[in-house]
Amino acid sequence: METLTGQVALITGGGRGIGAETAKQLAQLGATVVLVARTRAQLEATADEIRAAGGRAYWFAADVSDEGALREAVQGALGITGNLDILVNNAGFIQAVGPIETSEPSEWWRTLEGNLKGLYLTTRLVLPTMLEQGRGQIVNVLSIAAARAFGGLSAYSCAKAAGLMFTRILAKEVRKRGVRVMAILPGAVDTAIWGTGEGIPEREKMIRPSSVARLIVQMLTTPPDATVDELWVLPQEGVL
């Protein structure tokens, strides 16, 4: 696998789960990683682990739906080396769960906006630098729910489906300008996003976050004459 020495990667939701595992693996290949998430303690712990292993890691506490805080984080990342080569849009959450008929409108819209707005804002803030450089890679971490219907997950699924179309449109707009845009759609992954409620699939049957991260890294190290537009990744037993 090729080296990423000299490249800077910004990862949202980088304090835990898929984001943290992706940051660790990118750092092992020589990339400088910039972690963005809401929880300082998780960011510090992940950054410390990367540094202890010999990598370079920085972090900024910001909610990706807060444009001002996110702008400061992106500007801070640019201040580290002056370039941004990789963006992994990984931040997301599930809040509005249940049938549409009994859904709470404020929670429904918050879930939709929280998952989609951060994807848009982070991309919008990072993209000008990549276009000016004439190079860059963006991986949007979505969900199999973007392409398959799951009862009780209407807000989250609509957000991820919109994210998939956003990815396709962005790829069409910038692929001839040196920026590669990709999406990964994992099935059930053993992360904290599931919470502790009833109806959760068996965690031992889920995909490990490190496995998804490994596939993201493989996408980012695909030779420059090819691209992985969209990658569906399911647990071994399929949809759980």
Q: Do the Cβ atoms of 4 and 30 come closer than 8 Å?
A: yes
Q: Do the Cβ atoms of 42 and 16 come closer than 8 Å?
A: yes
For residue 41, give Cα distances in angstroms to 21, 46, 60, 61, 197: 16, 9, 11, 10, 24
Per-residue tokens: 188? 């059930």
Question: What phi, psi does 56 have (nearest 5°)?
Answer: -110, 125
Q: How far apart are CA 27 and CA 31, in angstroms?
A: 5
Q: Do the Cβ atoms of 41 and 118 come closer than 8 Å?
A: no
List the strands of the sheet with 56-61, edge to edge. 56-61, 32-37, 8-12, 86-89, 136-141, 179-186, 230-233
Query: Of the residues 59, 120, 156, 166, which is catalytic?
Result: 156
Active site annotation includes 156: yes
Q: How far apart are CA 70 and CA 82, in angstroms?
A: 17
Residues forming the active site: 156
